[in-house]
Amino acid sequence: MGWLLGWPLLTVAAAAAQTARNAMQRDLTGRLGTVGATHVRFLFGAPFALLFLGGLVLASGEAPPLPPASFWGWVVAGALTQVLATALMLATMSRRSFVVSTAYIKTEPVQVALFGLVLLGDPLRLSTALAIGLATLGVILLARRGDGAAADRRDGLTAAGLGLGAAALFALSAVGFRGAVTSLPHADLLTAAAVTLAAALTLQAAALSLYLLWRQRATLVALLRLWRPSLLAGLMGALASQFWFLAFAQTSAANVRTLALIEVPFAQFVALRAFRQRPSRRDSLGILLIVFGCLLLLHSEMN
């Protein structure tokens, strides 16, 4: 049973579930809009998170630990940045293909290195500089949409900005959720991840539901009517988050981020099979440069 909870298998499972959820949310964006499709993962994921936690409590016979005040600070930070990141991700997918949007999201390790250089003055090794250069070149190739009209070029730059913004916010949310998991006193791995997931999704579902009830009631009604596809997307989202939390609690973020790049070929498969999207040669080269840049950067971090 131990190998089933090992971080490599958990990371691959999380990447697969996340790819499936992203595809389902992308498909719902046209009918629900960006905010409505963003809410799918939270509103329909929260019940599954509560079921996970309840099943764990029943199986163990022990009540979950009482979270300290610091836990709620981390959860709120992680939850808020994740909501914003998801909205930006779906906005990116409305402008570029599924796999290109996924590649933008995977620039997160490179952005962390750049933030450290610019804001903290972290030393820049040759391998790190090369990794940043490769990934940056990949982003430039993806942002340039050939020699089309000026509107197309502007749209490509907008998609790049949205995708890079989503990646940065996802990085911040991962920090918040890891802080929440590790702040729980005397909690085993499974319990800490389940409590964090249930708290985050419940908070996100309540906040976005109130917002839609106040500003976009028609969107909330449409979302509830589409409960069948939304329920599956919520389940995939809850599973992905549970697996991510478990993986991050077992090993360094660098290890998980490296293996998580498997999400790019997963997205390529979905783009071809579900959306009939075949990347151009320029897009393929840009995606490869981003992946190689991230791999080089993460390899240098672990050595």
Per-residue pLDDT tens digits for 165-215: 999 998 888 888 888 888 888 878 888 889 999 999 999 999 999 999 999
Tell me what the mean pLDDT of segment 75-100 comes to.
Answer: 91
Task: Give pLDDT, residue 3.
Answer: 45
Give the distance, in angstroms, between the CA of residue 150 and the centroid of all CA atoms in the same chain.
31
Structure tokens at 13: 């499972």
Q: Report the pLDDT value the prediction gives residue 51, as an integer from 0 to 100.
A: 94
- Each residue of 235-280: pLDDT tens digit? 999 999 889 888 877 776 667 777 788 888 888 888 888 777 777 8
End-to-end Cα, the chain, rounded Å: 30
pTM above 0.75, yes or no: yes
* CB neighbour burial string for 243-252, b if at least 16 within 10 angstroms, e if fewer: bbbbbbbbee
Residue ranges of alpha helices (H) inside the chain are: 7-43, 46-60, 69-93, 98-105, 108-120, 126-143, 150-183, 189-215, 217-225, 227-250, 253-260, 263-273, 281-301
What the block records as the tokens of 175 is 């920090």
Question: What pLDDT digit, counting tens, does each position of 112-145 carry?
Answer: 777 767 765 666 678 878 887 888 888 878 876 5
> For the segment 27-84, what is each residue's pLDDT rounded down to a tens digit?
899 889 999 999 999 999 999 999 999 998 898 888 888 899 999 999 999 999 999 9
Burial 264-298 (b: 16+ CB within 10 A, else e): bebbbebbeeeeebebeeebbebbebbbbbbbbbb
Amino acid at 171: A
Could you tell me how far CA 193 lies from the centroid of its own chain?
A: 16
What residue spans define the domains of the chain? 2-301
- Between 249 and 24, residue with greater pLDDT: 24
Alpha helices in 216-280 (DSSP H): 217-225, 227-250, 253-260, 263-273
CA distance 59 to 121: 48
- The Cα–Cα gap between 228 and 167 comes to 29
263-273 vs 281-301: helix crossing angle, rounded to 10: 160
Q: At what angle do helices 227-250 and 150-183 cross, to 10 degrees?
A: 60
Task: Count the neighbouring beta carbons within 10 Å of the beta carbon of residue 239.
Answer: 22
